[in-house]
Amino acid sequence: MPLNYSVKQGDCIMSIAEKFGFKWETIWNHPDNADLKQLRKDPNILFPGDIAVIPDKTPRFETAPTDQLAKFVKKSPPAQVRLRLLDMKRRPRANVQFTADADGVISSGQSDGDGYITIPVLPKTQELKLSVSEGSKTDEYTLPLGSIDPIEEISGVQQRLANLGYPCGPEQGTMGEVTKAALRAFQKEMKLDATGRLDDTTRRKLKQMHGC
């Protein structure tokens, strides 16, 4: 019988699928999740309390010799995190070295000419530790994965503002004066009307600058 799973903070379709033993496409494209897919659009960005339907598993049969030990291995689908490194003037940090630790999965490399880096992670990973070296300077970051709320939610707007350098303090989920000031600062930098109000134009620009 299908299960109605209530999304928790840090969940995405890939991590939910890994938890229940499915490919993420099986859950995301299941007809019973059509409303969730229409609402959220992006399988990586859900909101706590969303309902994802977990379908019944379909039995799979494999042939094997009866007089030998058979070994079956469950393979987890690969996942990646793509980030863009920018300096304080929002210029790409091109060709800088990085090292990442995603729940023990260590990777390293160099950003491309536009400042982008790609990091392999396990589907269940919820925290990424990143070190970025440029000359003698090393910056270290701890990044929560799967914690970005949809941009339709006030908390999602605040999270994106904070990631772009406009912290909203403790006003998570409420539109207070600190958040309005952060919006005005963002709107001013983006050459929008600095009203401090959250309109569709500001949401679209915020999503564009944040990348999701």
At 77 the pLDDT is: 65
**CATH class assigned to 79-144:** mainly beta
| pLDDT band, residue 58 (cuts 50/70/90) | confident
Phi, psi for 116 (deg, rounded to 5): -85, 145
> In whole angstroms, how large is the CA radius of gyration of the chain?
21
CATH of domain 154-210: 1.10.101
Residue range(s) of every CATH 3.10.350.10 domain in the chain: 3-54
What are 72-125's pLDDT values in tens digits? 776 666 688 999 999 988 899 999 999 999 988 899 999 999 999 999 998 888
Contact 204, 160 (CB under 8 A): no
CATH of domain 3-54: 3.10.350.10
Distance separating alpha carbons of residues 127 and 144, to the nearest angstrom: 4
From the list 61, 45, 24, 66, the residue with the least C-alpha distance to 153 is: 45
Residue range(s) of every CATH 1.10.101 domain in the chain: 154-210
Residue range(s) of every CATH 2.60.40.1120 domain in the chain: 79-144
What are 2-17's pLDDT values in tens digits? 899 999 988 999 999 9
Tokens describing residue 136: 């003698």
Average pLDDT over residues 19-41: 95
